[in-house]
């Protein structure tokens, strides 16, 4: 009996060594493939997607999160979505983000008011830091199982490769952005607006999808510059642009058309939805309190909303939005045109009245 027991122990040890070595070799082969793939990706989003797949498939993590801060923008990738609410609190704390700064979620197309799910415990969350002079980034993980000793080394190899790939792509993006991004507001410039509008109009026509556009500008903006100075006016433009970008969908496109005028392209959006969005944005802008030195500046905006028609051209669509914006200003400013129909409370007669706002 003792001989059999000793034999079983030897066999168990031998099998453990054999299969442990085989598992390591398999992991390293998969790891090599992922590292090669990481360096072939052509955008930070693709790199993060590949990193998520690598860490989950090789190391079996049940939560993966990634956040990267570039200039005034913070992007995040969270999988699965049910952890968004809890992990967002961690990301805001780690990157010192006030609640007014929106996090752009790369893998979830969430409307700003959409529910983000219940809270989960982050007690066993593991965090890794990446970055260079161009960006700051953090990786967040919760392990599904007990981590193997070799996992720490593998994670470091994966993250080093990710950092190199991410730094390269962010440098490329910065060169590209210099040609298409308005440096003051961080929105697309007018030239890129035209490129984006042509592309989105062609896609909408090809797939028979809705597409809407709104144009807005800031009411009495010249008075703000005259009263507070141009640096204060620039601050107002930056804050308004940031507010609008934070409250539109990821796929929506915002561009600075010129001066204090902006245009948003809303793919797969009918005119009613576009008007509702414009109204929400109008209200948010009107509630802003923008600090400039020891002064607080308030501002309002007027919106013109149009939907692409079968015969629309890019120039015609912009012109139509401009006409609606002009009507909004003639209608008293701080409003949208066409207006939303609201049902007024019934009067004593019991007859309901509708009015355009």
Annotated catalytic residue 260: yes
Taking the C-alpha atoms of residue 334 and residue 248, their distance in angstroms, rounded to an integer, is 19
Taking the C-alpha atoms of residue 120 and residue 65, their distance in angstroms, rounded to an integer, is 14
Tell me the residue ranges of DSSP E strands in the chain. 61-70, 73-79, 103-105, 126-132, 135-143, 211-218, 253-258, 261-267, 290-292, 295-297, 301-307, 336-337, 341-343, 354-356
Across the beta sheet with 253-258, the strand order is: 253-258, 261-267, 211-218, 301-307, 336-337
Instruction: Work out the burial of residue 186: count CB atoms within 10 Å of its CB; fewer than 13 is exposed, 13-18 middle, 19 or more buried.
Output: middle
Q: Which residues are CB-contacts of 65 (< 8 A; sequence separation ≥ 6)?
A: 76, 77, 78, 79, 83, 87, 91, 139, 140, 141
Among 42, 89, 260, 276, the one annotated catalytic: 260
Q: Which residues are CB-contacts of 103 (< 8 A; sequence separation ≥ 6)?
A: 67, 74, 75, 76, 88, 91, 92, 97
Tokens of 97: 């983000």
CA 58, chain centre distance (Å): 28
Cβ neighbours around 36 below 10 Å, total: 10
Three-state DSSP class for residue 23 = helix
Q: What are the backbone angles phi and psi of residue 165, rounded to the nearest 5°? A: -65, -40
Supply the residues annotated as catalytic: 260
């Amino acid at each position: 009996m003792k001989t059999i027991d000793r034999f079983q122990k030897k066999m168990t040890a031998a099998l453990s060594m054999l299969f442990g070595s085989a598992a390591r070799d398999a992991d390293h082969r998969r790891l090599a493939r992922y590292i090669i793939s990481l360096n072939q990706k052509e955008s930070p989003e693709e790199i993060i997607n590949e990193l998520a797949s690598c860490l989950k498939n090789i190391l079996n993590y049940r939560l993966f999160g990634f956040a990267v801060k570039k200039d005034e923008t913070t992007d995040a990738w969270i999988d699965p979505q049910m952890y968004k609410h809890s992990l967002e609190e961690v990301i805001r704390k780690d990157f010192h983000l006030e609640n007014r700064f929106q996090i752009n979620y790369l893998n979830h197309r969430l409307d700003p008011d959409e529910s983000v799910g219940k809270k989960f415990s982050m007690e066993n969350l593991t965090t890794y830091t990446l970055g260079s002079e161009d960006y700051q980034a953090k990786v967040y993980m919760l392990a599904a199982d007990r981590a193997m000793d070799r996992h720490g080394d593998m994670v470091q190899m994966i993250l080093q490769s990710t950092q190199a790939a991410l730094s390269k792509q962010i440098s490329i993006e910065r060169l590209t952005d210099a040609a298409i991004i308005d440096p003051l507001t961080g929105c697309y410039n007018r030239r890129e607006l035209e490129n984006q509008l042509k592309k989105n109009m062609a896609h909408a026509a090809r797939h028979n999808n809705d597409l809407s556009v709104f144009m807005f500008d800031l009411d009495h903006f010249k008075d703000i510059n005259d009263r507070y100075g141009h640096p204060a006016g620039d601050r107002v433009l930056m804050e308004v642009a940031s507010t609008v970008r934070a409250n539109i969908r990821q796929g929506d496109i915002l561009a600075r058309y010129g001066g204090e005028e902006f245009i948003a392209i809303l793919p797969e959006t009918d005119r009613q939805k576009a008007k509702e969005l414009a109204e929400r944005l109008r209200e948010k802008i009107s509630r802003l309190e923008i600090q400039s030195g020891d002064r607080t500046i308030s501002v309002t905006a007027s919106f013109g909303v149009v939907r692409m028609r079968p015969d629309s051209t890019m120039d015609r669509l912009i012109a139509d939005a401009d006409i609606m914006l002009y009507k909004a200003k003639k209608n008293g400013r701080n409003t949208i045109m066409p207006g939303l129909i609201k049902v007024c409370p019934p009067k004593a007669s019991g007859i309901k009245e509708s009015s355009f706002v």
